[in-house]
Amino acid sequence: MPAPTILMFDSGLGALTVFREVARARPDARLIYTADDAGFPYGRIPEPDLIARVLTVMSELIERHAPDLVVIACNTASTLVLPHLRAKFSVPFVGTVPAIKPACAASASKLISVLGTEATVGREYTRKLIADFASACTVTLVGSARLASFAEAELRGEPASDAAIAAEIAPCFVDDGARRTDTVVLACTHFPLLIDRLRTLSPWPVIYLDPAPAIARRVVDLLGPTKGAVPEHEPVFLFTSGRPPSPALEKVLLAFGPRRAGAGEQAEAS
């Protein structure tokens, strides 16, 4: 097939780590990143309203850009809206779900934590993943109300304090005297944006599981690997608020992609 168009979708800027991995896996693709910043954070939106919102925004994006594949790089949207998207649209979707199965397989202590938004860890979908794939592990669910916002602020040059971040991750670290947590599932695509600070502030070393590489592998599974010469495509960054990024934020965005965004490409998505 010719170079594909891949649409990346998230409630904010958390999917930038996924964007980077997909760009590496398919450097020939035309990449469109959409941040539904007008609705961020998704956890505050009632479920029926969120389903309706994502379906509306996605309908407009698909009509406008005709993507060959859509990556829903948001755990909340994936666990809640993905079945509705697949029922409504023929384009293939790649979702993001907590990496509980590989975490349990990788854990030596069999004591793992799932760090997500309050909405994601409270959802029945997450509990079913634990029941299906983590029966050999003890799983601690940790819902953070502030970590996604901290990640967004970090990108904008307004980092949260060490104490504030440490307080959000502290419940992930369990020591029962015989075992202690050795693996933390990052069940929000925003959280890997803080990975260096998470490692520094951890009370002991753990494996932090980032979903981005697995998502990129799934994209390649569906589209196939790059073949032939790699054409030049500039990534497009869209914000549903209609506000273009500041020069400082644009510099950060471009650091996650292989090419510079074209002037005037920032546009309203809904």
Question: Which are the catalytic amino acids?
Answer: 74, 188
Q: Cβ(187)–Cβ(98) under 8 Å?
A: yes
Both tokens assigned to 134: 């983590």
Q: At what angle do helices 124-133 and 75-88 cross, to 10 degrees?
A: 100
Which H, E and C letters describe 9-38, residue by residue? EECCCCCHHHHHHHHHHCCCCEEEEEECHH
CA angle 126, 129, 130 (to 5 degrees): 90
CA–CA dist 184, 208 (Å, integer): 5
Q: Calculate Rg over the CA atoms of the chain.
A: 18
Amino acid identity, residue 126?
T
